Structure 1
């Protein structure tokens, strides 16, 4: 608080010094100009008198008399000017200093009436901190104290386990989940969360006991969403793509089409090379363009493709930029397949299917793994097709890129 008042006093003093410098009386320019003019006229008149004396127009006595009168006039003008122009050196300084005194006073009155002067007191800070929202650590400590008084609080144990899990204390999270499962042994949600925590304790590995628990949950609750999600992840990590496809298809059927979880799961499936069921595939927005593409691999090239080679199906403008307007990634094991390319797949708003009258549809088995293509890739391409009317295109991959 003392520091605050010292800083405030220093700022006020600095303001006073600035005004003091400004209020210093500057030299009066009008006075200097008048004096200079009088001196110039005096010198000119003296030269004229000297010239008249030299030409014989006036004698020496007249010259001296006129010169004395000239000097007396100059002296009278100077005294008269000084008497008329005199003023105090700091004329008008009193109102300025009154204003400088009233401004900080008014500011202090406003602060004490509208501000928070209590916060200047260090003893008031702890009180302000009491009103702040508690941190996660404080919340955990509060739950722990609550469970000491009531060890049969199921909700408390679940909340404590989730809090430990969120802060990375997996061992304590597992202990809290076991307490909760002892109170509710047949709760599928708790069992799945416990399995997830077990996998976290093993670096994310769902095999072994976590997968056993998940399968047990699915035996009694075959549509449990989180169990289906974890089961699909476990199958995918184990290389069992068919099981992952089956688990996630069932999970996808429970989600509203177009919802964020739906989009996230379909994106995950496409990234993993799984096939999104066409009945569940998102439909193009009303008024948007779309092209349905059926792709198959030529029997002559089948031996040159491996089941896990990526397959890219894309549309590009027949006349326009070379980058794809829409693209879908699959695998050779998914062929033959049918996909829908639409405006929702545009990488940039200005590069949508609906912005171009004709497009070329292509499909590529990217042996190099590069979506842009490389020598040795297997490709197929259509002729330019009109976008209007949601056309259907059949494509055969029957060429080898050179």
Structure 2
């Protein structure tokens, strides 16, 4: 793999083309100079018509000398500068002879003709230089435009590692198979940051947030990019059940301290603030993020939806005091959503007698909704520690992770109910679980029946 950026290769090509054009320009100017007629010398010689024999002899000598100079230039024994100097000296001698032969008012005419010839020659050389300069510039511009249109101009700048890894697997079987492949790859190449990032995102796609966060830690040790710190903060919070306190918040703030306009950091900061019921802070972060993206883009529309939901929560909290939990409500009190948000999906979780006999005291029940397509990040999470079965639950927008999509923006979701002996938000061996796809938002009376692992 080459470590030279592609734009450097293009620069070398353009420089080579420029050098080639400059060489052609130099040769063209040299040929043009040698082809110019020697009007001053011819004019000076013409002034010697009718003079004595000595003048004619001198003229023949000068003409022979001029022929020798031209021959020396053509054979390379003289360069253009030396040839021009010798020719000027020869012309001076011719003019002196002409002045001696006819010391009258015609002499200034000879000088005028010689000066005009030199000016014409200089003007011609200047025009030739300008013409070749335009040709070189047009060649460079054409090469750049061609590369921009047909090449890969985005490769002029290195693509960040966070944008190089895409997960193609979609089914659980494909995800599991690719995870095994990349686990082996990281063992063989422990310093391959791209391999570790691929493994991290495969874990994340399977909701294995804790292993994903650990793999991201290895990535950041090799390539500490701000986007990857934000990704790790999200995985750390999800593995802790959506709690951003501690390291996740610290990582987010570190990125925002260095880059106050970092889009992903602002979005996740809003999610973290909303998870702590700090609605005003969440709105502030999301407004700053919205100013960085087009309003009609997918990201812009998602942020607008999140801001609207946060505004609704603030208005609902200001309009009425928080409801006091009903005494003796038992499992139903745990089903009441936080704040005053309207329940969007309600139902109950049942367990088979075989599973109930294996549930340890103090086990945690998680019920969460996932988008049917796209990110595997839960859009709403309910948790409780049941003491009897069945257990009622309710999901609303206020129980989401804060970032779009929100539960109310989805037509249908996949519901997951999981019983965790350790209380970890990350699935562990020995957990009992059931999934129910195609649950429409707004439905009531959903039954999740757990019969095994």
Q: TM-score range by the shorter chain?
A: 0.3 to 0.5
TM-score for both structures, normalised by structure 2: 0.31
Larger relative contact order (C-alpha < 8 A, sep ≥ 6)? 2
The structure that has the greater radius of gyration is 1
TM-score for both structures, normalised by structure 1: 0.35
